Amino acid sequence: MGSIQHIVANLEQTMLPNIAKKQIRDVEGRPYPVIAAGDGPLVVCLHGFPDNYESFQYQIEPFVAAGYRVVCPMLPGYAPGTEPVSGTNTPVYAADKIIAVIEVLLKESGEQQCHLVGHDWGALTACLVANQRPELLKSLAVLSIPYNINLQRVILRCPTYAINGWYVMFFQLKWFADWWIKRNNWKFIDLLYRLWCPTWDNYEHRLVSTKETFKQPGVLKHALSYYRNCLFGLNPISFRWRRLYNGRIEVPTLALRGEVDGCMPEKAWEMNSAKSFRKGIALEVLPGVGHFPQLENPDWVSERLIRWFKQVSS
């Protein structure tokens, strides 16, 4: 348990003083690290790559002030002790684990449902949760990643993603990619932020905490396993993930994307089929914003998400 406590202690120094870092007990028999604050209806926020559970730090205080209880978990594999006891960390495992976390949180408060927000891989994971356990969710909000992604659609409808998604192919090079990412104080992470957020000039402060996360034992390996078991993987887990990621979602959904996102091109969002969202989907574009809208334009994102929570609860 010391490894989880170590990462929580490290991140403690970078967070706002009135936000609590803690471990949820009894999540499938192990503690689970989260950031938590507030009282009221539950909002769960999931970060992406390369990031950690501080990704929604600027939304926490506005959400609490609006009367919500906010919990930001680490994605499975992003803190020692959250990866599978045996086997490989995968996107399917991540969704199952987040479902277990949500169930524990709802049991704590006696609620039946929560609002689920996800960015990047947190968005992908949130969609799988909504696909498999819609009864747990009042609403779904996804940032920066579209739904309905599969290899055939990418090739036929968005061939330019081969350029934007070069890093996905690079991550398939086991051992070499892991070694390269760690070089020169993890400069590869700096590169991704520069490419994905061309108008964001002050992202360096996020890199300090993010790199501390990835320096923890096993985190990089488990984070890259998401990419090695998804869109371009040729293994049973990848096939299952692609099947799940193209199912029907029975939860009201809000999708937000940045206009100048260097990670996910605008064309890829045309793969979002309205038919997949039985309770509807609203898509909004943030002008002049890149891949991390919750960090690049936090006030706008906070206000829009709060309006969304109230709209679906009315």
- pLDDT tens-digit series, residues 100-144: 999 999 999 999 999 999 999 999 999 999 999 999 999 999 999
Amino acid at position 185, single letter: N
Structure tokens at 251: 């939860």
Q: Higher model confidence: residue 42 or residue 154?
A: 42
Look at residue 19 and give its three-state secondary structure: coil
Nearest to 103 by CA among 70, 133, 142: 133
CATH value at residue 209: 3.40.50.1820
Q: Higher model confidence: residue 62 or residue 163?
A: 62
| Total number of domains in the chain | 1
Structure tokens at 48: 């992406």
Range of the domain at 276: 2-313
Q: Tally DSSP H helices, then E strands, for the chain.
A: 13, 8
Q: Which residue has the tokens 């769960």?
A: 44
Q: In what order do the strands lie in the sheet with 69-73?
A: 20-27, 30-37, 69-73, 42-46, 114-119, 137-143, 253-258, 281-286
DSSP state of 216: S
Phi and psi at 42, nearest 5°, equal -80, 130
Q: Higher model confidence: residue 171 or residue 86?
A: 171
Nearest to 35 by CA among 43, 206, 215: 43
Q: How confident is the model at residue 9 (pLDDT cuts 50, 70, 90)?
A: very low
Q: How confident is the model at residue 150 (pLDDT cuts 50, 70, 90)?
A: low
Q: Higher model confidence: residue 209 or residue 11?
A: 209
Position 21 scores a pLDDT of 76
Q: How many CA atoms lie within 13 A of 189 on its CB side?
A: 28
What is the arithmetic mean of pLDDT over 280-287?
94
Look at residue 274 and give its three-state secondary structure: helix
* Whether 245 contacts 127, CB under 8 Å: yes
Structure tokens at 241: 């993930």
Q: Is 258 left (phi over 0), alpha (psi -120 to 50) or beta?
A: beta
Position 242 scores a pLDDT of 75
Is residue 13 scored above 60 in pLDDT? no
Position 217 scores a pLDDT of 94
Exposed, middle or buried: residue 266 (CB in 10 Å: 0-12, 13-18, 19+)? middle
What is the arithmetic mean of pLDDT over 69-82?
95
Specify the pTM.
Answer: 0.91
Partner residues linked to 71 by β-bridges: 36, 44
* Whether 140 contacts 253, CB under 8 Å: yes
Q: How confident is the model at residue 70 (pLDDT cuts 50, 70, 90)?
A: very high
Give alpha helix (H) positions in the chain: 2-12, 57-65, 91-109, 121-132, 151-157, 161-164, 166-171, 176-196, 204-214, 219-228, 236-244, 293-296, 298-313
Task: Tell me the pairing of strands 253-258 and 281-286.
Answer: parallel
Q: Lowest mean pLDDT: which of 27-31, 48-52, 67-71, 91-95?
A: 27-31
C-alpha span between 55 and 197 (Å, rounded): 15
C-alpha span between 131 and 95 (Å, rounded): 10
Q: What is the largest CA-CA distance in the chain?
A: 51
C-alpha span between 267 and 154 (Å, rounded): 10
Look at residue 143 and give its three-state secondary structure: strand
Is residue 4 scored above 80 in pLDDT? no
Is residue 295 scored above 90 in pLDDT? yes
Is residue 255 scored above 80 in pLDDT? yes
C-alpha span between 150 and 154 (Å, rounded): 6
Amino acid at position 27, single letter: V
DSSP state of 13: T
Position 234 scores a pLDDT of 67
Position 249 scores a pLDDT of 93
What is the arithmetic mean of pLDDT over 249-269?
92
Q: Which residue has the tokens 């909004």?
A: 284
